[in-house]
């Protein structure tokens, strides 16, 4: 859905921008609405385009496109293989095996 009410991105992305982050994003369903609500965010046409050259990949929604990422490809696009997954889309062991520094919510270290 493109409903942005209570979307965590509305708090998290402006907070990152306020600290100097340049944010590029991809949302397969909510882009049109998000562009109006998140000024200064550069919206990309896909997840790999959004990841290209990024210091960190932040997962804020659990769309199927994010569940099926080609992890070796993703790793080559990021400046460093760092993923912060706020939706627990991936298993920690899977990401560590793939060579990522991985953080998620509510899981033990």
pLDDT reported for residue 35: 86
Please report whether residue 98 resides in a domain: yes
d(CA 97, CA 54): 21
Specify the number of domains making up the chain.
1
Record the pTM. 0.88
Task: State how far Cα 76 lies from the chain centre.
Answer: 16
Q: Is residue 78 included in any domain, yes or no?
A: yes
Do the domain assignments include residue 83?
Answer: yes
Q: Considering the domain boundaries, does residue 29 fall inside one?
A: yes
1, part of any domain: no
Edge to edge, the sheet with strand 101-104 lists 57-59, 82-85, 101-104
Query: 85 in a domain, yes or no?
Result: yes
Asked whether residue 30 is domain-assigned, the answer is: yes
pLDDT exceeds cutoff 60 at 109: no
Range of the domain at 97: 9-104
Residue owning tokens 């859905």 = 1
Whether 44 is in a domain gets the answer yes
What's the pLDDT score for residue 107?
Answer: 81
pLDDT digits (tens, 9 = 90+) for 14-65: 999 999 999 999 988 878 788 888 999 999 999 999 999 999 999 998 888 8
Assign residue 99 a region: left if phi > 0, alpha if psi is -120 to 50, beta otherwise? left
Burial of 6 (0-12, 13-18, 19+ CB in 10 A): exposed
Specify the CATH number for the domain of residue 87.
3.40.50.720
């Amino acid at each position: 859905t493109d409903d942005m009410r209570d979307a965590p991105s509305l708090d998290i992305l402006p907070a990152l921008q306020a600290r100097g982050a340049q944010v590029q994003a991809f949302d397969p369903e909510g882009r049109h609405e998000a562009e109006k609500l998140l000024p200064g965010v550069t919206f990309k046409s896909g997840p790999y385009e959004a990841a290209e050259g990024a210091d960190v990949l932040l997962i804020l929604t659990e769309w199927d496109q994010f569940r099926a990422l080609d992890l070796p490809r993703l790793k080559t696009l990021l400046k460093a293989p760092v993923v912060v997954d706020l939706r627990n889309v991936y298993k920690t062991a899977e990401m560590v095996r793939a060579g990522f520094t991985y953080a998620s919510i509510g899981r033990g270290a």
